[in-house]
Chain A
Amino acid sequence: MSTPRLEFRNVTKRFRSSKGAEPITAVSELSFTLADGEVVSLIGPSGCGKSTLLNMGSGLDPATEGQVFVDGQEVVSPNEHVAFMLQKDLLLPWRTIRENVEFGLEIRGRSGRERKETAYELLKKCRLGDFIEHYPHQLSGGMRQRAALARTLAVDPAVLLLDEPFSALDAQTKMVLQQDLGRTLADTGKTALFVTHDLVEAIALSDRVLVMSQRPGRIVEVIDIDIPDRGNPMERRKSPKLGPYVAQLMDLLHIGETIE
């Protein structure tokens, strides 16, 4: 087997909440890999360390123990192979949408022309072609999040780390953006690790779903999603196979058990 795109090898993360207090173990001895072009979702109860894993992957918060590899290279600090996207769009209000998309390229010292071309192309793909020179406050939440996706893709990362990127959007906007993301990931063949609370979202968008336990987070189950056409989450939502997957995830996460 070839080198995985992204690998977490026995990672453990401990936090010290305050001085002298016992450190909290967020995730414990966790291992998994993502092959090239794979889209994998992480779901689990709140505080199980899903976001912690993404932070480790981005190189911003190294693991306490264990290692993270991208293409076989250990991630010890932020690097150009990985880009992340959060629930917050983090668009800079003083920059136009185009300038926001160029942000990462600008930091990496790319020429103005190259940045502009990339931004135009991506914004058109993200259906923001008419809003290129608008400011973020002039756009709706869904459009802003699409711009954030364009900004993430602009640096052409090997791996995308997505931390609940659509959780602040209304249900319909969310479906549209999931479709955008699903199609984009399929078209570009990017590898993505996707953190979400939305079970249907996880199933509709991914090849595999990793289910995590309560803190300290461990992977309790890996579910391969056997629904065709990952690039089309809308169609996948309509699939009759979706219901059983949701039921399985609900069982695994013990959803509803506390309500008697």
Chain B
Amino acid sequence: MSSEPSISATRRMTIGSVLLFIVFLAAWEWLPEALGVPQFIIPKASRVWEESLRMWSRDRLLFHTGITAMQVLVGFLLGMLLGMLVGFVLGMSPTTEFVLSPYILALQIAPKVAFAPLFVMWFGYTVYPKILVAVLIVFFPVMINVLGAVRAIDPDIVRLARSFKASRVQIFRKIQFPASLPPFFAGLRIAATLAVIGVVVGELVGGNTGLGYLLTFGEGSGNTAMVFVAIIMLTLVGIVLYGAIVLIENRVLHWLPSRARTA
């Protein structure tokens, strides 16, 4: 509500970032060459563009991107639901948390991507190991944030509800659930970027589908441009997911004072 940038200032900022992007592309196109960096180290922007068109028609780029995106999405959703569920259970039951905390802590500290080879051994070169790594990696930030949010609720608010004779279900639906949403979404933002990492590591370990596979294929055939394309597509998958979350978050959390203006 206060000191929001005027329309002309917003426009100037937009023009600024578009200009910066053009400068970046230009630098990518000509700077490495000018500095004598060979194309197999950093291929030109135009070369990467050509490669992406070639991959689109010859290497089923869309299919591989779709596979990766599907795995990211499924892993993300499952990890999110699981994290939410466990977060609420542990948040409402300090006893359960106390009993389980060593295991949760151990699992949290263990690098989740290290499980990828194990999952491949279990499930073979299918989509399941990739999804599973994503689930595992998404689970923690969501779970921790929901748990913390449930704990942070002012006990007097719960007492107020109880004084109105609210049932446990009502306390959950009307207080604990809505109160957990802002940290839950903060967890989702982190989880969105992690989900892509989880899936890619799974794909790098084994299989012949997905952008992670194209990545290793490009590496094996010394095709730097192909590696660049795969990285860019992975980033795009991440951006789409992250953007979708921000969009939903702005819808759901429109009541947050800090969100009254910012995006």
Interface on A for B, CB 8 Å cutoff? 58-60, 78-80, 82-84, 86, 88, 90, 92-95, 103-104, 106-108, 135, 137, 155
Q: A84 contacts B255, CB within 8 Å?
A: no
Would you give the shortest CB distance from B153 to chain A, in whole angstroms? 10
What would 13 more interface pairs be, CB under 8 Å, given A108-B164, A135-B255?
A: A78-B164, A83-B163, A84-B160, A86-B156, A88-B154, A92-B157, A92-B175, A92-B178, A93-B257, A94-B178, A94-B255, A106-B174, A107-B164
Q: A80 contacts B165, CB within 8 Å?
A: yes
Report 7 cross-chain contacts, Cβ distance below 8 Å, ordered by A residue.
A59-B163, A60-B159, A86-B156, A88-B156, A92-B157, A93-B257, A155-B164
**CB within 8 Å of A: which of B168-190?**
170, 174-175, 178-179, 181
Confirm or deny: B161 has a beta carbon within 8 angstroms of a beta carbon on chain A: yes
- The A interface, classified by DSSP as helix, strand, loop or mixed, is loop
Interface on B for A, CB 8 Å cutoff? 154, 156-157, 159-166, 170, 174-175, 178-179, 181, 255-257
- The B interface, classified by DSSP as helix, strand, loop or mixed, is helix
Q: A103 contacts B164, CB within 8 Å?
A: yes
Closest-by-CB residue of B relative to A137 is B257
Chain B residues with CB below 8 A from A107, complex form: 161, 164-166, 170, 174
Chain B residues with CB below 8 A from A155, complex form: 164
Cα distance A173–B88 when bound, in Å?
A: 39
Chain B residues with CB below 8 A from A106, complex form: 174
Q: B164 contacts A104, CB within 8 Å?
A: yes
Would you give the shortest CB distance from A19 to chain B, in whole angstroms? 16
Q: A82 contacts B174, CB within 8 Å?
A: no
Q: Which 5 A-B pairs have the closest CB atoms?
A: A137-B257, A104-B164, A107-B164, A107-B166, A94-B255
Closest-by-CB residue of A relative to B171 is A107
Closest-by-CB residue of B relative to A161 is B163
Would you give the shortest CB distance from B92 to chain A, in whole angstroms? 18
Would you give the shortest CB distance from A247 to chain B, in whole angstroms? 35
Chain A residues with CB below 8 A from B170, complex form: 107
Q: A84 contacts B163, CB within 8 Å?
A: yes
Q: A60 contacts B175, CB within 8 Å?
A: no
Closest-by-CB residue of B relative to A155 is B164
Cα distance A106–B178 when bound, in Å?
A: 16
Closest-by-CB residue of A relative to B253 is A94
Chain A residues with CB below 8 A from B256, complex form: 93
